[in-house]
Amino acid sequence: MKSGLKSIALLVGLAAGTAAQADRLDERWQTQREFYMELSDTACAGNENDHDFLFNAAVQERNPVAMNSLAWLIRPGTDCVGVAHDRETWLELLQTSAERGYPVGMSNWGHVLVTGDYGPRDLESGLLYLEEAMEQGNAKSAEILALIYGEGRHGVAQDLSTARMFLQRAGMLGMDEGQLTLLADRLNRQED
C-alpha cells in the first residue's frame, strides 16, 4: 500500500509540472485573486490607500475575492500594521465569500466549519464546502480533505482510500510537488 501512495505522489507531481500554481482556478477567479492578494499584502504592511480600496471592494461592492482578502487581513492573530482584528466581521466575510462561489473562500469557510476554530462547527457543511472548492480547482481543499480522511480528523472516520483519492486530486490541481510528497509520506505513516 505504501508504494501506491508514493506512486500517486510521484505521478501526480510529474503531471503537475514544476513551478505550478497552487490551484487550477478559473481565470476569472485567479486574476482577481492575484490582484487582491497583492492589495492585502500592501495593506498589511500599512498602505492605507490599498486598505481603503480593498475595504471598498469587499464591503461596498461585495466582491467575494476582495472579501476573502480582507478577511485574511483582519483574521485573528494577523500581525498587520494598523489593522483592527474583528472576529465577527472576519467570519461574515469568509461565509459570504464562500456563499458567493469563490473557491478559496469556500475552502477557508469550510475549514472554519470543519474545525470550529474561531467560529461555528458544522462538519457536514464544512466538508461540502471543501469538496466544492476542490471541484472548482482549489488544491488546498484537496490537501485538507486528504488529511481529514487520512488521519481521521474532526470526527471523520479514517478512510485511506478516500484520502488517496484526495491526494491524487491535490496533485492534479497543482499542489507543490514537495508538499505532495510530504503529504503522501504522512499518509503512509497512517498505514503502519
| Model confidence, pTM | 0.86
Once rounded to an integer, what is the mean pLDDT over residues 135-164? Answer: 97
How many angstroms separate the most distant Cα atoms in the chain?
54
pLDDT digits (tens, 9 = 90+) for 8-19: 444 343 333 333
What pLDDT sits at residue 95?
98
Q: Given 3-state DSSP classes, what are the helix, strand and coil percentages for the chain, each rounded to the nearest 5?
A: 70, 0, 30
CA atoms within 13 A on the CB side of 44: 17
Which among 101, 44, 100 has a CA at the least distance from the CA of 72? 44
Q: How many angstroms separate the CA atoms of 7 and 184, rounded? A: 9
Which among 90, 77, 134, 12 has a CA at the least distance from the CA of 148? 134
User: Is the per-residue pLDDT at 161 higher than 50?
Assistant: yes
What pLDDT sits at residue 160?
95
What pLDDT sits at residue 9?
41
User: Is the per-residue pLDDT at 100 higher than 60?
Assistant: yes
Once rounded to an integer, what is the mean pLDDT over residues 89-113? Answer: 98
Once rounded to an integer, what is the mean pLDDT over residues 94-122? Answer: 97
What pLDDT sits at residue 73?
95
Q: Could you tell me how many residues make up the chain?
A: 192
Once rounded to an integer, what is the mean pLDDT over residues 100-128? Answer: 97
User: Is the per-residue pLDDT at 177 higher than 50?
Assistant: yes
User: Is the per-residue pLDDT at 71 higher than 90?
Assistant: yes
